Structure 1
Amino acid sequence: MPASAPPPLRDPHKPMSLTLFGTGGSAAVPDVACTTDPAHGCRCCLDTVGHPQSRNVRGNTGAVIRVPLESGEEKTILIDCGKTFREMALKFFPEKGLRKIDACILTHHHADAIDGLDDLRAWTYHSAVEQTIPLYCTKVTYLQIAQSFAYMVSKSAGSGGGAVPSFEWHIMPDDEDWDVCGVRITPFPLHHGIYFTEPPTPLLCLGFLIDQSVLYISDTSFIPEAQWTRLGSYLSLPSPSGAFPSPPRRRSLSLSRARSSASASPPLPRLQALIIDTGGALRLSPSHFGLPQAIATARRLGVQRTYLTDLGHGVSHACWLDACRALSRGERSPAPGEGRAGEAPAWKVRDEEEQQAPHAHVYEGLDPAGHVEDVELFVERALEAVEEWAGGVRPREERLWVRPGFDGLTIEWEAAEGGTRVWDSEYQYDRE
């Protein structure tokens, strides 16, 4: 789409959707070391052998946004294009009725986000599906791609028969809204580990707020306070007590104040859905959130629905599902611990230097390889890990709704009376 072309008109009467095209980390799932060792491989990976439809098959983290237009057509926006994109596309494009890619937005320049770009030649070579694909990314990501895959940004760097993808590059700022296929995409640069420089500098990975309704965070180890401040300018966020600001009551206002209130900006929306990195499993890793940090972030956002992504091998989908249901029910860990009794603040500010303690006891008794999966013990340890980092459970009416994502899960949302309505293809009636 040329920069001068007007954005397409979105149909406000039809829902938008986001389908998870991958929910595994950079190595994806299954792990070949497990699938070739039936005596010791983890239960998660072994479950996939001979079962390609298993919920434990997890491609590199990525997603597809579908945007309905007033014309009756639909625009498709790809989020990242990692190493496993081709096999995910072969599976889900026919299944979901997809064909074109109208845009691709990139979170960062790691292999699990960009190494599938070469496979997009199947769409653009000889205009098989479309002549070119617009790509949106920051200058840092563009320069990394140009250095590693020069032919993707300049055809003069190509050789042979010229079977290379055709891209239209859009170098975008990381502190301003992007208009992509008529959708408002707001980037938030988050920390995804650090470079070992002097002084150390963070590797930045973009989180995307989509349509002011869904927040997509695929890779992060820390969210700077400056980005929390920016989030608060787009979304209604709760106070540390968990309460949301209440709009003023017109009846109690004077006439002049009522007129002033009526002309003021509408209240900010509450976040409907969060897709968030849980690559560290039960604890923070140097470059990924674990479950405790994901839950603490969801609390601070006051989000309606939370979906976990970047899930590695060693813990099966069924195991994650039981742990998430226990959290959603407000269950407590049986292990005693200081600060875990009673109600806790909804969230608290933490420094980047504040790392999660090793908490070896969190994994005590669990098979590190996951060959023998003790679901009950994993749930107990998950509750304990969350309590130690994010505090005790909240009152019943303020509990989180959290579920594990899986490849192919579709989340939909649309404007409704009183706000935005959100639902998904799997857990819609799962109210635990």
Structure 2
Amino acid sequence: MDSDVQSSSDESSPPSSAAPSTRRSTSKPLSFTFLGTGGSSALPLISCVTKPEEACPSCFDTVFDPDSKNIRGNTGGVLRVPQDDGTEATILIDCGKTFREAALKWFVKKGLRRIDACLLTHLHADAIDGLDDLRAWTFKSVIEKTIPIYCTRTTYDAIASGFPYMINKKAASGGGALPNFDWHIMPEDQDWQICGVTVTPLPFHHGCYFDRVPPRPLICSAFLIDSSILYASDLSYIPEAEWDRLATYISLPSQNGLFPSSSLSRSRAARPLPRLQAAILDIGGGLTSTPTSHIGLPHTIAIARRLGALRTYLTDFSHGETHQTWLEWCERFGRGECSDRARLEGRAAQKRVVSAWRSWTEGELPPTRARVGPPPQADNPFALIPDPPSGSTFIDDHSEGFIRQAFEAVEEWAGGVLPGRWVRPACDGMTIEWDRWSEGSSGLEWCEERVRDDEYDR
């Protein structure tokens, strides 16, 4: 597959056709390190830490703990792809406003130096405003002469308009250092072969433009990596056409929860599609959703169910609840807990037939029945619910109220309670790795778990 390419050292001539980088990789594990797991404002918020007596729990925690997991940069990360010569290719995904401080911390701790390619998901500041800092890599070829940048035409045009010197150095002013890039303008409907790994771009919606009626969607590319990991950091809606496309790369469950690829009648000569190892999904909408930009927890869990992902990592956190509170909810969700209301329904809830997943229309929001505020008091029927099970981490009243509200929000949107799923909050610096899908003849590898991380698998 060809792509348009242009070097930032060129004049503003039309991009020419050239093939992207295609170094072959070995069977060693691939890995992804989160450089940032916070929203566009990052965490903590200045408005919170400058008035700690009124700060939210997550921002307040960072005032006293410099290593707090509630310190979160703009969403992004580093994909490492082993090569046949024993080296690793390093692919940067997004380069937002907090990239420099993230690189100073995590590149050193993770033994990173080179950047062999950079993939951009969309045109917002939290995805592209750190590109200028890449001059620390390319100025006078101190680390490398140039960095290939892969993005869609829309993102390229936005950068050309806002940062013309990144496209054409003749547009620069003054005598400062400039980054040096090779621009690859990539199609949204074809695989990208980069540094020995297949990246499938998926044009998901991330809100919309307001320049016309009806509004047109703003596209943010999600990336299916190696048909194993789905990275979708900024998301408001997945069009049905993209679900159909995903179904040609990975095995998706039917609404009764069965995987078509698991059929015993399938010919042994027909290689089944692999099951998605992990989904990295937006949680920026909190417990509800912001239909103009981000999904929230109910939509996120619904998407994870429809993907049939073995693991789901949450990213793009806003301030408010702490990492520990999110982790407590995820663990209790995975153990099969449910909301106060679901417990009161008792056997009726158990007999209800619940689909494994549901679809929805763009802009459709969860119901608003979920309570807001502290946990129920003694005169409230919900107070009949027992305390959290033994073994749970200590959670204060505020966090317990949030956790119960989260259960209600997910259950109401999904239509009922399902057995637990593996969901965890990601944090900056966390690394997940996975083995490539085996091409053995048995066909059983399609559903085997091949993913692990250095935060929850220790």
Which position in structure 2 is the counterpart of 1:38?
Answer: 52
* Residues 164/338 of structure 1: CA separation in 2 closer, same or farther (3 Å cut): farther
**Post-superposition CA distance 1:61-104 (Å, at most 9, x none):** 00100011110111000000000000000000010000000000
Aligned counterparts of 1:362 and 1:285: Cα–Cα separation in 2: 18
Aligned counterparts of 1:122 and 1:74: Cα–Cα separation in 2: 20
Question: Does structure 1 residue 176 correspond to structure 2 residue 176?
Answer: no
Which position in structure 2 is the counterpart of 1:393?
Answer: 417
1:4, CA displacement in angstroms? 4.9
Which position in structure 2 is the counterpart of 1:106?
Answer: 120
**Post-superposition CA distance 1:323-367 (Å, at most 9, x none):** 1111111111002599992352111221114223344x432338x
Aligned counterparts of 2:113 and 2:426: Cα–Cα separation in 1: 23
Which position in structure 1 is the counterpart of 2:228?
Answer: 213
* Residues 150/242 of structure 1: CA separation in 2 closer, same or farther (3 Å cut): same
Q: Report if the CA contact (8 A) 2:285-2:295 is conserved.
A: yes
User: Which residues of 2 match residues 62-77 of structure 1 at below 5 A?
Assistant: 62-77=76-91
Which position in structure 2 is the counterpart of 1:363?
Answer: 372
Question: Does structure 1 residue 308 correspond to structure 2 residue 314?
Answer: yes
Amino acid at match of 1:376: E
Question: Does structure 1 residue 352 correspond to structure 2 residue 362?
Answer: yes
Q: Secondary structure of 1:156's match?
A: helix
**Post-superposition CA distance 1:279-333 (Å, at most 9, x none):** 0110111210101111000000111000000001111000100111111111110
Question: Does structure 1 residue 413 correspond to structure 2 residue 427?
Answer: no
Q: Secondary structure of 2:247's match?
A: helix
Aligned counterparts of 2:38 and 2:199: Cα–Cα separation in 1: 23
Aligned counterparts of 2:246 and 2:297: Cα–Cα separation in 1: 21
1:139, CA displacement in angstroms? 0.2
Which position in structure 1 is the counterpart of 2:423?
Answer: 402
Q: Secondary structure of 2:154's match?
A: helix
Amino acid at match of 1:326: R
Question: Does structure 1 residue 269 correspond to structure 2 residue 274?
Answer: yes
Aligned counterparts of 2:398 and 2:121: Cα–Cα separation in 1: 35
User: Which residues of 2 match residues 161-240 of structure 1 at below 5 A?
Assistant: 161-196=175-210, 197-240=212-255
Aligned counterparts of 1:411 and 1:15: Cα–Cα separation in 2: 10
Q: Secondary structure of 1:49's match?
A: helix
* Residues 363/146 of structure 1: CA separation in 2 closer, same or farther (3 Å cut): same
Amino acid at match of 2:164: A
Q: Report if the CA contact (8 A) 1:55-1:407 is conserved.
A: yes
1:7, CA displacement in angstroms? 1.8
Question: Does structure 1 residue 379 correspond to structure 2 residue 403?
Answer: yes
Which position in structure 2 is the counterpart of 1:341?
Answer: 349
1:53, CA displacement in angstroms? 1.4
1:401, CA displacement in angstroms? 0.3
Which position in structure 2 is the counterpart of 1:17?
Answer: 31
Q: What stretches of structure 2 of length at least 5 have no aligned partner?
A: 8-17, 376-395, 439-444
Which position in structure 1 is the counterpart of 2:11?
Answer: none
Q: Report if the CA contact (8 A) 2:21-2:194 is conserved.
A: no
**Post-superposition CA distance 1:366-406 (Å, at most 9, x none):** 8xxxxx872211110110010011132224xxx31000000
**Post-superposition CA distance 1:177-210 (Å, at most 9, x none):** 0011111000100111111222211111011000
Aligned counterparts of 1:47 and 1:305: Cα–Cα separation in 2: 27
Aligned-residue CA RMSD in angstroms? 2.1
Q: Report if the CA contact (8 A) 2:279-2:312 is conserved.
A: yes
Aligned counterparts of 1:401 and 1:171: Cα–Cα separation in 2: 36
Aligned counterparts of 1:46 and 1:214: Cα–Cα separation in 2: 33
* Residues 50/39 of structure 1: CA separation in 2 closer, same or farther (3 Å cut): closer
* Residues 280/195 of structure 1: CA separation in 2 closer, same or farther (3 Å cut): same
Which position in structure 1 is the counterpart of 2:286?
Answer: 281
1:44, CA displacement in angstroms? 0.7
Q: Report if the CA contact (8 A) 1:326-1:379 is conserved.
A: no
Q: Report if the CA contact (8 A) 1:322-1:375 is conserved.
A: no
Amino acid at match of 1:61: T
Aligned counterparts of 1:5 and 1:175: Cα–Cα separation in 2: 16
Aligned counterparts of 1:171 and 1:373: Cα–Cα separation in 2: 51
Aligned counterparts of 2:102 and 2:52: Cα–Cα separation in 1: 25
The normalised TM-score by structure 1 is: 0.90
1:162, CA displacement in angstroms? 4.1
**Post-superposition CA distance 1:204-223 (Å, at most 9, x none):** 10110001000000001111
Aligned residue pairs total: 409
Aligned counterparts of 2:156 and 2:261: Cα–Cα separation in 1: 43
Q: What stretches of structure 1 of length at least 5 have no aligned partner?
A: 251-257, 367-371
Aligned counterparts of 1:263 and 1:241: Cα–Cα separation in 2: 26
Out of 78-87 and 324-333, give the one that drifted further: 324-333
**Percent of paired sites with the same residue:** 56
Q: Report if the CA contact (8 A) 2:280-2:313 is conserved.
A: yes
Aligned counterparts of 1:241 and 1:249: Cα–Cα separation in 2: 17
Out of 276-285 and 159-168, give the one that drifted further: 159-168
Q: Report if the CA contact (8 A) 2:20-2:194 is conserved.
A: no
* Residues 50/128 of structure 1: CA separation in 2 closer, same or farther (3 Å cut): farther
Which position in structure 2 is the counterpart of 1:255?
Answer: none
* Residues 416/349 of structure 1: CA separation in 2 closer, same or farther (3 Å cut): closer
Aligned counterparts of 2:308 and 2:23: Cα–Cα separation in 1: 32
* Residues 178/373 of structure 1: CA separation in 2 closer, same or farther (3 Å cut): farther
